[in-house]
Amino acid sequence: MSATGVPSADEVAAYYDVMSPLLRLVWGDNFHFGYWEDENDDSGDEEAADRLTRLLIGKLAPGPGERVLDVGCGVGVPGLRLAELTGADVLGISVNREQVHEANRRAGEAGLQERARFAYADAMDLPHPDASFDAVFALEVFVHLDRPRALRECVRVLRPGGRLVLTDLLLRGEIAPELADGVHQGLTAQLLAPLPTFDDYRAMAGAAGLTVDELTDLTDRTHRTLLRIAASVDDHLQEIEERYGEQAGTIAAAMRSPLQLRPEFGYQFLLAHKPAAASASAS
């Protein structure tokens, strides 16, 4: 972890060697929050996670044949869903090679390997040429990134007029001094960069050369995720400690901490685009 609290790509890669199997055990193959319509919505975890994916695909609205960069692709579930539902061409990237392998395996299994590929790349230092994508899809990867730097990289690889949708954690209020140590420990255990406010996001997106189209607080619709994960971690506690080792135990403790449920923490999405006329200055 650097002095800024942002983990390096190598640290995140190693973290997901532990975190991927843990997440698949306690939550599922979508490594992102679920979305419930209201209090009476009794959707299961997988259905709720897929609903959030579809909501964001709908916001991004890529057309058939458009090139979409799926930043922080996990094991490929959201990227494959996007390819399947829209006919777009997807390149998913992750710093965890096991995830990349699994995502490509799933693409083959789904018969989508012609339109959905997955590869190793660091979102903070993308290997792709300028203006090489029509859209960027980034579900919950910014939690681990130097956000201003990664946003600039996204803007660089987007064509003028290209769109971006991302989800991220959100800081909705000040952390009381007596909670600060516990919060810091929880963020560190989960390799999360310091959390941004709405104002931070507007400023970062603008500075990167993006025009914000929508910035929405989804906390009320997604909050149940944290309760469900905490309960599932409780159910699997012994297995986690026995099978996945000490780091998994520390991560699991953070995932079931009541601190995560505090109202100061939330969940948001950003929809933005690269202005057609700003291509030169933003790259």
* Site of interaction with ligand SAM (CB under 6 A): 9, 12, 16, 30-32, 72-74, 77-78, 93-96, 99, 122-124, 139-141, 144-145
> Residue 96 or 225: which CB sits closer to ligand SAM?
96
C-alpha–C-alpha distance, residues 264 and 179, integer Å: 11
Quote the tokens at residue 78. Answer: 């959201």
Q: CA-to-CA distance for 193 and 211, rounded, in angstroms? A: 24
Nearer to ligand SAM, 257 or 279 (CB): 257
> At 271, which helix (H) or strand (E)?
strand 265-273
For the bound state, the minimum distance from the C-beta of residue 262 to ligand SAM, rounded and expressed in Å, comes to 20
The bridge status of strand 265-273 relative to strand 211-217 is antiparallel
Residue 145 Cβ vs ligand SAM, minimum distance, rounded to whole Å: 6
Nearer to ligand SAM, 225 or 257 (CB): 225
Give the shortest CB-128-to-ligand SAM separation in angstroms: 12
CB of 71 to ligand SAM, least distance (A): 6
Q: How far is the CB of 166 from ligand SAM (least distance, A)?
A: 10
Q: CA separation (Å) from 108 to 65, 103, 275?
A: 19, 9, 36
DSSP state of 250: H
Name the nearest CA neighbour of 194 among 145, 122, 152, 149.
Answer: 145
Residue number with CB closer to ligand SAM (149 or 278): 149
Return the residue nearest ligand SAM (CB atom). Answer: 72
